[in-house]
């Protein structure tokens, strides 16, 4: 290389480095929100090692000070002159498609801000950003551009490795990230083409340049079950394993039940007790005790695993359980909240073993009226373990183990359930699916979950216990000075969403009463009316979307969906941390202790609600992955389906036979130019006026399946499974 060319290349590289230094420095000082730094601190923070770059830093600070973008403090340190990023409009990026994003501000009454993808700067989905809003707007939403990234949503992602001769890049799995990440060969860490990897961003790119990343962990080959499930776990930041110190702490817990401990509790070991759980369950955290009293009434105990006896506050076990907050149920595995020694052994209410429990005990008559209730710690000895199928057979035939007791409990459950709906509970029976998998995790069949009386019996008595515990604590003190407690609340549905839903239901000939005191009864009537009809699934799904989301809070509000004035989660402490909080608080108040700090518990409630959402999203992603994998192996034929969603870029269709959902993209609807009619949940052909609307039954063919992005592309046109594009 000639000296001239070498100098030109060096000058170009130096210019690029100086440009990168300018961006890095200004962004760092802006994100520091008023903090000041010495030159030496900036050198360290910006990882500057080259002498020339350190010299450039001094010059750059002088220039920025002259321009008024940086000021020097009395102590000689430097800080941004920008008053505060919080002073502008801030929000979180929701990158809905490759063309644009919305910034959700979380401020009541403010509409989301529309941002073209070209105006996102380096921000990606989930980042917290500052936005400058334009004075004019093109549509109904204000429009603007990102001026600064305040906080990155995360720095680790999952994706698939692709390689060229001199470098690699990773294509992220997450649907809402529309760019690749550049990886230098030394940062591949052994990954090869088509590996599924967990990667970390090491440098966020300039506007037109890809961010740089490094491979943190190789998850396996794309398409393999282990790799894909690990990919989902990594995407939602679920823990792969328990820390060694947590496992060691769990192994040290004593297994025996001492006579001293039994004396502190009500002894139910001589009372008939049993569990009813799924066939593949390993942790049994609830049991029912049953006996007939001399006065003709029944004593029914809901006994819950006493997890908090073993997991004490301040321990590593408790800290880890709080961080996880919930077990997560993926299609082929459970990511547990507690180590196996606790969840499957010490705490699990296994048959023919003495177990420590926390109970809600009710004296009821044959009409379901509660005469007495008691709450406290118990010790039990389960006489039998039923699967749901076994219990259902006994209920249906009237023969088998504890047939008389199950018959009575089933009759009482029907009374409790009827009373609940009479008071306004909403009856949503949405269809869930499970998969039959082979030994390698490949889906062999999709099976709808069927809920029968055995499931509903257990559910009803768990609801009774949860409601009774919440009501008991709420009523402990009169007036405003209530004991701080963890409630499970569910607000009234948003009126606008209910009105939209009612308008849509009317298209199928169904009327809905919109008055707040009539909504639940009207919804129940609708659910009964549509049972077995083609529109059942779509209307049930839309009704659920119109509802508010249930959450944990210390505010003693009611639960709209269940029609309870007060409700909590008491019955599943093996898999939910809020139930552990409820156990501790209930015992605290039974011991006549003072109310705990409300603010601290509200923060714990917020954390638990966020973790619950994460778990639900991960579970849905794992189901979607198996659905896509199942349909990738499906027969090339026409499938009956129902339209479950309509957007400006395509029509979602649920295949009736398999309950798998895919999309017919607008671009693939070649017979006309279709326009989106948002208010009426439909698309309309401009020339022929053909309409596809939510709830319509249609026929579709599978065009393409993409396991990586967990997407099924469908078409209304006949298409062979294979095309030239596939080769």
Q: Are residues 409 and 525 in the same domain?
A: no
Q: Could you give the 3-state DSSP secondary structure of residue 530?
A: helix
Q: Is the pLDDT reported for residue 41 higher than 50? A: yes
Alpha-carbon distance 464 to 569, whole Å?
11
Q: Are residues 94 and 113 in the same domain?
A: yes
Residue 476 lies in a domain: no
Q: Could you give the 3-state DSSP secondary structure of residue 140?
A: coil
Question: Of 62, 80, 98, at which residue does a domain stop?
Answer: 80
The predicted structure's pLDDT at residue 235: 87
Q: Is 104 left (phi over 0), alpha (psi -120 to 50) or beta?
A: beta
Q: Are residues 310 and 432 in the same domain?
A: yes
∠ CA 114-120-122, rounded to 5°: 160
Q: Are residues 122 and 193 in the same domain?
A: no
pLDDT tens-digit series, residues 398-438? 999 999 999 999 999 999 999 999 888 887 766 778 888 88
List of E strands, 57-117: 70-72, 78-80, 89-97, 100-104, 113-116
DSSP annotation of 307? H
Alpha-carbon distance 156 to 216, whole Å?
9
* Count of helix runs (H) and strand runs (E) in the chain: 17, 33
Alpha-carbon distance 714 to 721, whole Å?
11
Q: Are residues 306 and 400 in the same domain?
A: yes
Among candidate residues 462, 476, 456, the one with its CA nearest the CA of residue 567? 462
Residue 468 lies in a domain: no
Stretch 101-127: mean pLDDT? 84
Beta-carbon contacts of 586 under 8 Å, excluding residues fewer than 6 positions away, are: 358, 375, 469, 473, 570
Q: Are residues 486 and 597 in the same domain?
A: yes
Q: Are residues 92 and 57 in the same domain?
A: no
> What CATH number is given to the structural domain containing 27?
1.10.10.10
The predicted structure's pLDDT at residue 453: 95
Residue 334 lies in a domain: yes
Q: Are residues 536 and 608 in the same domain?
A: yes
The predicted structure's pLDDT at residue 468: 98
The predicted structure's pLDDT at residue 264: 95
DSSP annotation of 548? P
Question: Of 620, 648, 675, at which residue does a domain stop?
Answer: 620
Q: Is 365 left (phi over 0), alpha (psi -120 to 50) or beta?
A: beta
Note whether 468 and 373 are within 8 A (CB): yes
Share of the chain above pLDDT 70, in %: 92
Confidence of residue 7 (pLDDT cuts 50, 70, 90): very low
Among candidate residues 646, 607, 647, 655, the one with its CA nearest the CA of residue 628? 655
Q: Are residues 532 and 403 in the same domain?
A: no
> What CATH number is given to the structural domain containing 676?
2.40.50.140
Q: Are residues 274 and 357 in the same domain?
A: yes
Residue 109 lies in a domain: yes
Q: Are residues 489 and 428 in the same domain?
A: no
Residue 464 lies in a domain: no
Beta-carbon contacts of 679 under 8 Å, excluding residues fewer than 6 positions away, are: none
First-to-last C-alpha distance (Å) of the chain: 42
Stretch 225-251: mean pLDDT? 93
Question: Could you give the number of structural domains in the chain?
Answer: 6
Residue 475 lies in a domain: no
Alpha-carbon distance 700 to 718, whole Å?
8
pLDDT tens-digit series, residues 470-500? 999 999 988 778 999 999 999 988 888 888 8
The predicted structure's pLDDT at residue 545: 79
635 or 320, greater pLDDT: 320
Compute how many other C-beta atoms are within 10 angstroms of the C-beta atom of residue 4.
8
**What is the pLDDT of the chain when averaged over all its residues?**
87
Stretch 444-456: mean pLDDT? 89
The predicted structure's pLDDT at residue 182: 92
pLDDT tens-digit series, residues 682-727? 899 999 899 998 888 899 999 999 887 888 999 997 544 333 333 2
Alpha-carbon distance 540 to 523, whole Å?
10
> What CATH number is given to the structural domain containing 196?
2.40.50.700
Residue 454 lies in a domain: no
Which domain covers residue 195, as residue numbers? 156-222
Residue 466 lies in a domain: no
Q: Are residues 294 and 440 in the same domain?
A: yes
pLDDT tens-digit series, residues 268-321? 999 999 999 998 888 899 999 999 999 999 999 999 999 999 999 999 999 999
Q: Is the pLDDT reported for residue 83 higher than 90? A: no
Compute how many other C-beta atoms are within 10 angstroms of the C-beta atom of residue 305.
29
Confidence of residue 352 (pLDDT cuts 50, 70, 90): very high
Alpha-carbon distance 196 to 158, whole Å?
7
DSSP annotation of 724? G
Question: Of 151, 179, 208, at which residue does a domain stop?
Answer: 151
């Amino acid at each position: 290389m000639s000296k001239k060319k070498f100098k030109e290349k060096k000058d170009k590289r130096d210019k690029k480095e100086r440009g990168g230094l300018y961006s890095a420095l200004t962004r760092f000082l802006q994100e520091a929100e008023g903090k000041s730094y010495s030159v030496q601190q900036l050198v360290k923070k910006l990882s500057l090692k080259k002498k020339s770059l350190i010299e450039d830093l001094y010059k750059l600070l002088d220039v920025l000070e002259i321009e008024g973008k940086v000021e020097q403090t009395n102590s000689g340190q430097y800080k941004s002159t920008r008053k505060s990023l919080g002073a502008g409009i801030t929000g979180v990026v929701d990158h809905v498609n490759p063309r644009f994003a919305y910034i959700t501000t979380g401020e009541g009454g403010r509409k989301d801000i529309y941002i073209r993808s070209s105006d996102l700067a380096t921000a990606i989905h989930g980042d917290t950003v500052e936005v400058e809003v334009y004075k004019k707007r093109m549509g109904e939403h204000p429009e603007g551009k990102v001026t600064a990234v305040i906080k990155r949503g995360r720095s680790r992602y999952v994706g698939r490795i692709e390689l060229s001769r001199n470098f690699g890049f990773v294509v992220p799995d997450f649907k809402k990230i529309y760019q690749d990440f550049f990886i230098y060969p030394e940062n591949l860490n052994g990954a090869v083409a088509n590996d599924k990897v967990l990667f970390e961003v090491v440098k966020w790119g300039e506007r037109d340049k890809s961010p740089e990343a490094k491979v943190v962990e190789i998850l396996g080959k794309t398409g393999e079950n282990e790799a894909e499930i690990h990919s989902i776990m990594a995407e939602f930041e679920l823990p792969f394993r328990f820390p060694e110190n947590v496992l060691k702490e769990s192994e040290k817990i004593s297994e025996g039940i001492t006579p001293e401990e039994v004396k502190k509790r009500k002894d139910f070991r001589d009372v008939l007790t049993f569990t009813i759980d799924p066939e593949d369950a390993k942790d049994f955290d609830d049991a029912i005790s049953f006996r007939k009293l001399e006065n003709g009434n029944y004593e029914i105990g809901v006994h819950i695993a006493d997890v908090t006896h073993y997991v004490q506050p301040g321990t590593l076990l408790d800290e880890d359980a709080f961080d996880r907050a919930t077990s997560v149920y993926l299609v082929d595995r459970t990511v547990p909240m507690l180590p196996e020694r606790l969840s499957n052994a010490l705490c699990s209410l296994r048959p023919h073993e003495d177990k420590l429990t926390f109970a809600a005990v009710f004296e009821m008559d044959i009409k379901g009226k509660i005469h007495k209730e008691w709450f406290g710690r118990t010790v039990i000895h389960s006489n039998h373990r039923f699967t749901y199928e076994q219990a259902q057979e006994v209920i249906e035939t009237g023969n088998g183990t504890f047939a008389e007791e199950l018959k009575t409990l089933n009759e009482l459950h029907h009374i409790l359930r009827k009373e609940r709906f009479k008071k306004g509970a909403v009856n949503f029976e949405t269809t869930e699916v499970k998969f039959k998998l082979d030994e390698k995790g490949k889906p062999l069949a999709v099976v709808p979950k069927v809920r029968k009386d055995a499931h509903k019996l257990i559910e009803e008595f768990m609801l009774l216990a949860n409601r009774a515990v919440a009501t008991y604590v709420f009523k402990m003190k009169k007036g405003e000075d209530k004991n701080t407690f963890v409630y499970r609340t569910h607000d009234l549905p948003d009126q606008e969403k209910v009105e939209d839903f009612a308008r849509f239901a009317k298209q199928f000939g169904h009327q809905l009463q919109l008055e707040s005191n009539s909504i639940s009864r009207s919804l129940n009537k609708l659910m009964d009316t549509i049972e077995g009809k083609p529109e059942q699934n779509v209307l049930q799904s839309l009704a659920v979307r119109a509802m508010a989301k249930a959450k944990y809070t210390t505010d003693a509000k009611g639960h709209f969906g269940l029609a309870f004035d007060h409700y909590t989660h008491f019955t599943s402490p093996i898999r939910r941390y809020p139930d552990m909080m409820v156990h501790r608080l209930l015992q605290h108040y039974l011991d006549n202790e003072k109310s705990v700090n409300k603010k601290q518990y509200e923060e714990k409630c917020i954390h638990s609600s966020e973790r619950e959402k994460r778990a639900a999203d991960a579970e849905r992603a794992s189901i979607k992955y198996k659905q896509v994998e199942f349909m990738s192996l499906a027969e090339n034929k026409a499938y009956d389906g129902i339209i479950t969603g309509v957007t400006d870029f395509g029509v979602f269709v649920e295949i009736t036979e398999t309950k798998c959902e895919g999309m017919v993209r607008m671009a693939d609807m070649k017979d006309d130019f279709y326009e989106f009619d948002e208010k009426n949940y439909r698309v309309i052909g401009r020339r022929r006026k053909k309409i596809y609307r939510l709830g319509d039954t249609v026929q579709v063919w599978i065009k393409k399946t993409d396991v990586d992005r967990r997407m099924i592309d469908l078409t209304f046109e006949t298409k062979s499974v294979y095309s030239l594009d596939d080769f």
